[in-house]
Structure 1
Amino acid sequence: MSETKEKIVSLADKLIREKGFNAFSYKDISEPLQVKNAAVHYHFPTKMDLGIEVVEQELRLLSLNAEKWKKLPEDGQLLKFFGVFRKHCNNGNVCLMGSLAPDYETLSPAMREKVHEMASVIVEWMTSCLEQGRKHKRFHFKGSAGDRALLVISNLQSSLLLSRVLGPSAFTRISRQLLEDLGA
């Protein structure tokens, strides 16, 4: 990927997490990067193309992290996952899925498919981590691992939203309680 293209994707990711997908334009990208709108359109003819690339980048990052984390016990993997959210909290961002979900119905079918894929990959990873952690006696919770995964992910997403309003302590309190509820 060219340096300009990487900068465009990186800034779009930041804008989506800060403002939401529908709340920024190519002008919000071209001005800080000091390029013409045409340069942004050259790399990404439509905003949906750019959005898909941002989601694909997130999927690649999750895959890389999951590969690194699989050497850790499941409670360690979960702590690493929580650390990703902590980093976003400290930067005042929300997670990408949490930011794109409210705009989901306004997205193109191709982008909706990519957001759905991202959500599915995250839920599948979390479900597997929780199932294996319970099998190895690292986690203790009632119900299915899949249902618990949905609860953990939705709570982490909302913790970032609440942290914007109530401050970072909201994330700290929610994440601590989630870990305690899992017996981690």
Structure 2
Amino acid sequence: MSETKDKILSMADRLVRTKGFNAFSYKDIAAPLDIKNAAVHYHFPAKSDLGVEVIDQEIEKFSAFTVKWKQLPENEQLAKLVDVFRKHNNQGNICLMGSLATDFETFSPAMQAKVQEMADGIVSWLTNCLEQGRKNKYIHFKGPAQARALIIMSNLQSSLLLSRVMGPAAFRSIADQLLEDLCQK
């Protein structure tokens, strides 16, 4: 990938996480990078092309994380997932899936499918982690693992939103309580 394309993707990712997908234009990408709008259009003729690529990068990053985490006990894998959200909290970002969910109905079918692929992949991984963690007695909860995975994801996503209003301590409080509730013996 070209350096310019990488910079465009990085800026787009940041803008999606801070402003929302529909709240920025190619000008918002081009100006801080000191490039022309035409350069953004060259790499991404349609904004949905840009969105799909940003999501693809996130899917790849998450996959790489989970490969690294695979050798850890499930409670530590869960803590690593929370750390990903903690990093975004420290940067003033919200998670990509949470940000894209608000604009989902306005996306092209290709971009909607990519958002669904990302969500399904994360929830599937988390469901498996919870099931294995319960089996290995590292994680404790009642009910189906998939329902618990959805609860965890919705809590982590909303904690980043609450942090925008209430400050970073809101995220820390929610994340710490989630881990304590699930990982205590």
Name the TM-score class by shorter chain.
over 0.9
1:68 deviation in Å? Answer: 0.3
User: Where does residue 79 of structure 1 map in the other structure?
Assistant: 79
Task: Give every structure 1 segment of 4 or more consecutive aligned residues whose post-TM-superposition deviation is greater than 2 Å.
Answer: none
1:59 deviation in Å? Answer: 0.2
User: Where does residue 154 of structure 2 map in the other structure?
Assistant: 154
State whether structure 2 residue 43 is matched by structure 1 residue 58. no
Q: Deviations over 1:12-64 (max 9, x none)?
A: 00000000000000000111111111110000000000000000000000000
CA–CA distance in 2 between the matches of 1:126 and 1:8?
A: 30
1:183 deviation in Å? Answer: 3.0
Taking the TM superposition and a 5 Å limit, the aligned residue runs for 1:40-51 are 40-51=40-51
User: Where does residue 127 of structure 2 map in the other structure?
Assistant: 127
User: Where does residue 30 of structure 2 map in the other structure?
Assistant: 30
User: Where does residue 68 of structure 2 map in the other structure?
Assistant: 68
Q: Deviations over 1:71-95 (max 9, x none)?
A: 1110111111100000000000000
SS across alignment from 2:94: coil
How many corresponding residue pairs? 184
Question: RMSD of aligned C-alpha atoms?
Answer: 0.6
Q: Which amino acid counterpart does residue 105 of structure 1 have in structure 2?
A: E
1:177 deviation in Å? Answer: 1.3
CA–CA distance in 1 between the matches of 2:141 and 2:172?
A: 21
Q: Give the unaligned 5+ runs of structure 1.
A: none
Q: Deviations over 1:136-182 (max 9, x none)?
A: 00111100000000000000000000001101110111011111221
Q: Which amino acid counterpart does residue 136 of structure 2 have in structure 1?
A: H
The sequence identity of aligned pairs, in percent, is 67
Confirm or deny: 8 A CA contact 2:75 2:183 kept in the other structure.
no
SS across alignment from 1:45: coil
User: Where does residue 14 of structure 2 map in the other structure?
Assistant: 14
User: Where does residue 137 of structure 2 map in the other structure?
Assistant: 137
SS across alignment from 1:50: helix
CA–CA distance in 1 between the matches of 2:58 and 2:171?
A: 21
User: Where does residue 4 of structure 1 map in the other structure?
Assistant: 4
Q: Which amino acid counterpart does residue 64 of structure 1 have in structure 2?
A: A
Q: Give the unaligned 5+ runs of structure 2.
A: none
User: Where does residue 167 of structure 1 map in the other structure?
Assistant: 167
Structure 2-normalised TM-score? 0.98
1:131 deviation in Å? Answer: 0.4
1:104 deviation in Å? Answer: 0.1
Confirm or deny: 8 A CA contact 2:163 2:170 kept in the other structure.
yes
